Amino acid sequence: MNLNYELQNAVFILQSSLNNLRITIDSFGSPVHALSDGIIQNLSPEQIQSLELSFQTRANYLRNHLIKVSAQLALTSNIDSVLKLQKSIQHLTDHYYLSEKVYDCYLDFLHTRSEQGMGIILKGCDKIAKSSLQRGLKHLDKEIPPVITYLDFGQGAALLAAGVYLWDYQTNPAALIKVVRSAIPFPRLTSILHECGHQAAKITGWNEELEPLIYDTVSSSGYPKELASLWALWTSEIAADFWSLSQSNFASVIGLSEVLSGSANRIFDIIPGDPHPMGYLRVMLGIEACNTVFGNGPWLDYRKVWQSLFPLNLCRAKSYKIIMESIPILTLLCKCILTTKMACFSNQSLQEILPWDYSSPKTIKSFLNNDLSTLSVPIDVIIQHPVITLSCFRYMQMFGGRSQESLAKEMRNWLVSLGTSGN
C-alpha cells in the first residue's frame, strides 16, 4: 500500500472505523447471553437452542462480511479504492445495525419475563401456543417452530411469525406472540390460539388456498363480486379465527367479542385494504360456526345479546348494505371453510385436522363440576390439555357464577402450574 499523506490519513480513519466494527462484531452473540438467570429458567431448552443457532448464524454472516471488507482494505492503493472501501464499510455498518435491531427486539421481548411472577406465566402461555400448533399440524408432517410469548400493552394479540424475513434479511427463528397485559390471567388468552392460526397458515400455505375458495363460494352463489372480493380480502384473519374456533369454539367467540367491544365505536367499520373483517360480522361468523357444528347452544342467546348491543340502525348505509348481503352467506362460508378438503392439509378438511369434539361443550363440561363453577379433573389432566382447560375457564366465567377475582386467582395458579411442568 503506497499512498500519499492525504490518502494515508483517509485510510487511517477508515481503518479505525473498521477496527471498531471488528470489536463490535466479535462481541455479537445470542440475546440469551445477556439475560439474567431468572429469565433463562423460564425459557425451554428448545427456545434457547433455537435462539443460539439463529444468532450464531447471524454472527457468522457478519464476520464473513468483515473478512471481505478487511481484505479490501489491504488492497487499497488510490483514491478510487479508498472511496470503494468507504462504501463497503458503510454496507458492513448497515448490516451490523440491522442484525443489532433483531438482537434488541428479542432482548426486549425476553425481558418482559423479568417482571415479578410474569416469567413463569408466559412460559405457561408458551405451552398453550405449542399445544395449539401441535394439535393441528402433527399429522401434516410439518416442522413446528419454537414459540415465545411476550408481554405488551394494547387491546389485541399479535404475531411475528417464525420463518418470515427480518430486518437483516434472515429468517425469524421463533413464533413471537404478543400477549396483552389486560388478558392475563383471564380467559381472553384464547387470543393466543388466533395467533397460532396465523403461524399455521404461514407454515401450510392455507391462506393462499383459502382465499380463492372464499371468493368462489360467495360469487358462485349469486352474490355480488364486490362482496366476494371483500370476504376474500379478509381471508387471513378468518383463517386465524377458525383455527381458534376449531380449538375453543364458543370461548373463542366470547374472547373475540371482548376485544372488539373495547372499540364499540368502530364495530361496523370497514377499512379499505385491511384484512380484518368488520367486527360485527366477524363475531356473527364465529357464532354461526358454533351453530353449524353443534346446532342449538348458548351461542344463539349470545347472538341476540350481540345484536342488542350493536343495533344496525347505528351503522352507516354502506356497512348496513354489506351486513344485509353477508348474513345469508355466513352458514355457507362456515361450511366451506370447515369441510372443504385442502391440499395444504394433505387433502383433509380443517374439521378433520382439528375435530371440534376435542373441546366441545360436552368435553368442557366433563372437565367441570355439575354447576360449572370449578375444575373437577386432576391437575395432571389440566396440564396435559391446556387448550381445553383455557376454554373451561371461559365456561366457569360465563356459567359458573364465579367472581372475576376468584377466577383470575385460579387461572393464574393454573398458568404457573403449566409453566412449571416439564420443560
Dig out the grid coordinates for 272 from the structure: 379499505
Cell readout for 119 is 416469567
DSSP state of 357: G
Specify the pLDDT at position 423. 65
39-53 pLDDT, tens digit per residue, is: 999 999 999 999 999
Q: Quick check: 68 pLDDT over 80?
A: yes
* pLDDT exceeds cutoff 80 at 115: yes
Cα separation of 29 and 169, whole Å?
17
CA within 13 Å, CB half, 111: 9
Residue 305 has pLDDT above 60, yes or no: yes
Exposure b/e, 274-308, CB count within 10 A at least 16 = b: eebbbbbbbbbbbbbbbbbbbeebebeebbeebee
CB contact at 8 A, 334 and 289: yes
The mean pLDDT value for 132-152 works out to 95
- Phi, psi values for residue 335, rounded to 5°: -65, -40
Q: Cell triple for residue 178?
A: 404478543
Euclidean distance between CA atoms 218 and 251, whole angstroms: 27
- Region 283-305: what's the mean pLDDT? 97
pLDDT digits (tens, 9 = 90+) for 201-236: 999 999 999 999 999 999 999 999 999 999 999 999
- Helices 317-326 & 225-233 angle (0-180, nearest 10): 90
Higher pLDDT, 290 or 263: 290
Q: Tens digits of per-residue pLDDT, 389-414? A: 999 999 999 999 999 999 999 999 99
Domain ranges of the chain: 5-114, 119-354, 359-420
| pLDDT at residue 139 tops 90 | no
**What whole-number percentage of the chain has pLDDT above 90?**
91
CA distance 267 to 60: 49
DSSP alpha helix (H) spans, 161-278: 191-204, 206-219, 225-233, 235-261
Share of the chain above pLDDT 70, in %: 99
Rounded to an integer, the average pLDDT of 170-187 is 96
In the predicted model, is pLDDT for residue 1 greater than 70? Answer: no
Average pLDDT score over residue span 108-124: 96
* Residue 158, C-alpha cell as written in the block: 399479535
What's 347's DSSP letter? S
Residue pair 287/306 in contact by the 8 Å Cβ criterion: yes
Q: Cite the DSSP H helix spans in 27-117.
A: 37-40, 45-74, 79-111
Cβ neighbors of 223 (< 8 A, separation 6 or more) are 325, 329
In whole angstroms, what separates CA 253 from the centre of its chain?
Answer: 17
Confidence of residue 3 (pLDDT cuts 50, 70, 90): low
Q: Is the dihedral of CA 331, 334, 335, 337 positive or negative?
A: positive
Other Cβ atoms closer than 10 A to 144: 18
Per the prediction, the chain carries an average pLDDT of 95
Residue 352: CA count within 13 A, CB half-sphere: 13
| H or E segment and range at residue 152 | strand 147-152
Backbone angles phi, psi at 348, to 5 degrees: -115, 160
